[in-house]
Amino acid sequence: TGVQTCALPISRHPQRAKPFICVKQPAPSRDEVIADFVMFGQENPQTADKPAAGVFLGFLAARFPCARK
């Protein structure tokens, strides 16, 4: 999928690419994340013409940020 294609380069070089999506457990339900993504799209109409994989990864990074060390 597009998200896997976009995320693959990040996973290949973990020393250089710091984690930017960290889902705390227990994770929210699939339906909750989908609803949040729909809301994100409605609140950010400038993303409508952007590649979906990049928009989704941006949403995930904003929704599930990693703690700063």
pTM for the model stands at 0.69
Residue 2, pLDDT above cutoff 70: no
Q: What is the mean pLDDT of the chain?
A: 82
- Please report, rounded to a whole number, the percentage of residues in the chain having pLDDT higher than 90: 59
- Residues 10-35: pLDDT tens digits? 455 566 777 888 999 999 999 999 99
Q: How far apart are CA 19 and CA 48, in angstroms?
A: 26
- Prior bond of 65 cis (ω within 30°): no
Q: What is the structure's pLDDT at 61? A: 92
Q: Secondary structure of the chain in the HEC alphabet?
A: CHHHHHHHHHHHCCCCCCCCCCCCCCCCCHHHHHHHHHHHHHHCHHHCCCCHHHHHHHHHHHHCCCCCC
